[in-house]
Amino acid sequence: MAPYDRETLLQKARDIAKNAWAPHSRFRVGAIVVADGRLFHGVNVENSSYGLSLCAERSALAAALAAGAQDITDLAVSCIDADESAGAGPRVPCGACRQWLADVAPNVVILVDGLDRVFRLSDMLPIPFSLG
């Protein structure tokens, strides 16, 4: 995670979440990916056809990949509109994002705002789909 500490990454995720396009759910999410020592930002972008919406995690991953990043090491996620009493469910990456991570960043460290635990992808997706 060096040179970025946990709180720095989570604060950056909180800050970028304010740019999310969430007119339907009003549930803004920000994500920061650390790849090759650089930071890449993503926000959720909703569509009236929910299946066409883009999660913040995939948005940040796509930005990193588009920039030619090779080594994705960390992901920080913040759902700034999550109820403070909510558990992990509404805060952690969805199944589609977990599969993206399995494909492009299987060894990623995942930080989730509001949860003290540091996650590995294997904690969230113990048996990922694979063509290999």
- Residues catalogued as catalytic: 57
Sign of CA dihedral 115, 17, 85, 46: negative
Concatenating the DSSP letter of every residue in 46-103 gives --SSGGG-B-HHHHHHHHHHHTT---EEEEEEEETTS-TT--STTTS--HHHHHHHHH
- Residue 97 token pair: 């994002």
